[in-house]
Amino acid sequence: MALSHAILAALLERPLSGYDLAKQFDASIGFFWQATHQQIYLELAKLESKDFLRGSTAEQTSRRTRILYSVTDAGVDHLAQWAAAPSGSAIIKDDILVKCHALSVTSASGLRAQIAERRGHHQARLDTYRKALARLYPNPRDLAGTALGQYLSLRAGVRYETSWLDWADEACVILPAED
């Protein structure tokens, strides 16, 4: 169970609604943890029932009422305990690499096209991370605490996306464009 931890971590900075979280999980946090909105709402309910979160209905002008969740002291404790415990290894699941492995039953040009298509997503991600870094942390040497951690995770994102792009380029040189 670690989506709950990702949610708690995301809410440390400031209270957010389930909808906000879902969007965040499509952006910055989404690099190292994915979740759909359904999952998020479910997990929010669980976390609130454990008193790790508190939800407050913040009425806003005319729009439907959003529920803003913030982390309780118990939630902070819980997260801190988890963070101190040893980490498992990273999980990666990538269709395209399985397809590489099965190249004998597919067309190489088809695989090449899929890689090229995905390359676009990774490029977009990289741009997002780079912009966020430039905007939020123009001066990395002065960072401490929360900012430092988020800077580091963005750097990891940049490195990952860059290596993916490099690999895609390597693959597209090797794989034929037409069969």
Is 167 a binding residue for a second copy by CB under 8 A? The answer is: yes
Nearest distance from C-beta of residue 154 to a second copy, angstroms: 9
Comparing C-alpha atoms, which of 45, 51, 48, 35 is closest to residue 3?
35
Tell me which stretch binds a second copy (CB under 8 A): 41-49, 54-62, 105-113, 126-134. Answer: 105-113
* Binder of residue 172, out of a second copy, DNA, none (CB less than 5 to 8 A by kind): none
Is 36 a binding residue for DNA by CB under 7 A? The answer is: yes
Structure tokens, 62: 């005319």
Helix (H/G/I), strand (E/B), else coil: 14 = coil
Is 141 a binding residue for DNA by CB under 7 A? The answer is: no
Distance, in Å, from the CA atom of 118 to the CA atom of 126, rounded to the nearest integer, reads: 13
Containing 121, the helix (H) or strand (E) segment is helix 108-136
Tell me which stretch binds a second copy (CB under 8 A): 40-48, 54-62, 130-138, 139-147. Answer: 139-147
Is 39 a binding residue for DNA by CB under 7 A? The answer is: yes
Distance, in Å, from the CA atom of 131 to the CA atom of 165, rounded to the nearest integer, reads: 17
CB 156 within 8 A of CB 125: no
Is 93 a binding residue for DNA by CB under 7 A? The answer is: yes
Q: Which residues bind DNA (CB under 7 A)?
A: 1-4, 17-20, 22, 34-39, 41-42, 44-45, 60-64, 66-67, 91, 93
